[in-house]
Amino acid sequence: MDTELKKLLKESNIRLEFAPLHCPGLLVHGKNSKPDVMIINSSYDDEQAKNVILHELGHMIYDKDVQGDYQTNDCAHTYSEHGANSFLIRERVKQYIALGNDLQTTNWLDFAKSIGTQDYFQVQEELNKYKFEE
């Protein structure tokens, strides 16, 4: 796991664990001042795990703004997933840029596929934010 990801987890006071799961990952909120625990599917490779960690961090950051029950309210569920996916994409684009990649020649569709998302419009929008800053 890269240093930046470890830093995000530490700043968020989240303990990371891996276990066989029926889903990609989940976040269990700690009680009585105990840290939150993020559990990632142990069958995932490093890239898949990285995406799940970023997605779950996105939930932690943005779900406090969600009104309605994630499980029963479709609007709340959609809003929550959008916030988590947006965070994942934003962080992966930042990492891509930090590696010195040339955004002028970056194909947004190839990039989206490489990070395992089908949210193509969001990837294109995020990449464009940085293209015009250069």
Distance set, CA 122 to CA 1, 65, 91, 107, 109 (Å): 25, 20, 12, 13, 11
Global pTM reads 0.84
What pLDDT does residue 132 have?
63
Which CATH number does the domain housing residue 86 bear? Answer: 3.30.2010
If you ran DSSP here, which 8-state letter would residue 33 be given? T
The sign one gets for the Cα dihedral 66, 11, 53, 48 is positive
Residue 57's pLDDT is 92
In tens digits, what is the pLDDT along the chain, a chain of 134 residues?
688 888 889 888 899 999 999 999 998 888 888 888 999 999 999 999 999 999 999 988 877 766 667 767 788 888 888 889 999 999 999 999 999 988 888 999 999 999 989 999 999 999 998 876 65
Domain extent for 120: 3-131
Question: Pairing mode, if any, of strands 14-19 and 25-28?
Answer: unpaired
Alpha-carbon distance of 123 to 117, in angstroms, equals 9
Number of domains in the chain: 1
